[in-house]
Structure 1
């Protein structure tokens, strides 16, 4: 079978998940690439809202082709539109990562779903406490660094046609406003944390570094590991937040996941990502913001999800508690904040 490719015009560059107060899906025209192969699909997997939010931002279904090829289909549901990069952006990066051998290989994609090769049953998402293993953590950082160097081929970064630019400070501000518009009660810690971080938020523009392609989500569950061979490098999944970012946001997302339960040398985390450890306070500031963002996302999802059996509030509060602890205990960040007062 063959398929026609739509020729709808596309916006050249979008600078964040929200533009001029409108949803990204309203500002980016996605090129439709219909999935044309015939697959036999199983019942969609049940979402598992754990401390790492496994499968909580889409519908996942296993399938098999006529030739016996096993695949995993991810359908992007409407709930993610508020905070996710556009599907075309995600697919573009996933395809490049699959070709580079750092993610499952993409087989087909459409306007709202992507079909990837299903890994053998020995592969599974990593768990948070497994990042205490220095070897796994370093492998995870190496594969994230590889994303910074991905070659997107005809969709090269220089033309920025299919890669959205993300900004964590703006993302947090937008999600906070959306929660308030939805009438969601915000825990006191949200504004307490943002208030204490205000010097960092005010200086973010001056502290910014040149954006690079980033995965953008340091959750342990976004690492796929071979449970039978600890020496096999992990693969990346969960590309919802991918895009052009300040690379210290990437480091921050990892630190946000690690602390306080996985002791790590934060300076080593930065060096492994080819970042200057002298700027550790910047990564720590982004780590706290990353926790606040996901707290807001969790609260917002709980309010708007049609399926109330998925309790995203607990996940949001988990991230908020971690963010508050991190703000109190990151020494380099607190030293910098104190110097600004």
Structure 2
């Protein structure tokens, strides 16, 4: 079919929202369904957006809002656990010289900006809804929804995240695997003087870091070996994170004073996933975390998802048939970059788990970021 009429996007995170905006701009009818009734508009503490993510956000026409509400910066600091600065390096501008190297942002604010852009695009949005059944034909997909309604689409884009039910439904057996690390995150007021991400390696945790997310806020995080989630009472989340953070100096004492509300502290394992071979089955195609995910050691998860949306949309609006050849080209354009990011992100953590003290961390980061300067 050379003129597909309709697309279903399953999942309203970064990749699902982005692909919806881009396809609607091209005049394609898009329905977006999201399982969470609140569209995840209040979920999360902060996010680090590097230049290649900002490049896609500019393509979505939301860059000015992101720039106004976020905190742009251009360097990374590494400190000793006591807060002593060891070195500061300039971030590579992976989005080009006309964009900041990095913007820190409150994750709910980014989500709301994308939600507003989806609404303005004219897409049909249904919240609290999932795809209960998918039946493929030769040129489309018949979908039955969790509310009992049904519809047919020329294409289904699975943007339903790391535990994608769509991925499993189409017979792709890869699942996320834990890397052995876990992260505690929380928002906090920005201490005067915090103007970039600083990371401390060692001490009570593997990593302790923070990132400014606005003029008034940061998000802070500590990384440790993963524990059984069931063994940690959510009511103690603030106590657990504060205990890990208390051994760090510099700005950390001021940050730690604000780690008091367990409801604001998030605990998650680091996972890795890379679907190889292809990211589609017939007229159902994976995007974002449904196809790949990695630990946040390079802060590239959202960027890879946004790039997926940009590349897939470019191919879908090219006027070519929506067939195996097109979807395989999407995969082949994405897999070298995504694989490099996943492998580097996992390696950075594994070196710490293994206690490797002479690892070429700067070299690995530099090589990977240099690769990402090229357009996807």
Same fold (TM over 0.5): no
Query: Which structure features the higher share of strand residues?
Result: 2
Q: Which has the larger radius of gyration?
A: 2
Query: Which structure features the higher share of helix residues?
Result: 1
